[in-house]
Structure 1
């Protein structure tokens, strides 16, 4: 199933940086805690949305990229 991309390039880059930071903080800043694993999981989701260029929450509110 293919989805239409709804994230601009600058936001995809920011999601990658933020996702790596969230994973690092979750695993090293809060080691062995449930909250740490939740933060790391949220970081993994941010990186996944960056990779695919599609955010389901943005699509739910009708966000789209301008047509080329």
Structure 2
């Protein structure tokens, strides 16, 4: 892999659930407007970070990979 995971299992599950809720709420409550699509895209990004287990923003902030915390 080209990256090291920097999220634990509980955080990944929370991000995946949150991303799905953001997408669902954005498209049902706001609709298929430009703002709805932007919010839905942010939910997709949150879901992808959960699936990969790596968050670039957390890496830039200095979060260590999971293996190095011990």
- TM-score clears 0.5: yes
The normalised TM-score by structure 2 is 0.88
Alignment of structure 1 residues 1-68 onto 2, 5 Å: 2-64=2-64, 65-67=66-68
What is the alpha-carbon distance in structure 1 between the residues aligned to residue 32 and residue 56 of structure 2?
Answer: 29
Q: Which runs of 5+ in 1 are unaligned?
A: none
CA root-mean-square deviation? 1.3
1:66 to partner: Cα distance? 4.5
Q: Could you list the structure 1 runs, at least 4 aligned residues long, displaced by more than 4 angstroms after superposition.
A: none
Unaligned runs of 5+ in 2: none
TM-score (norm 1): 0.91
Which structure shows the higher helix fraction?
A: 2
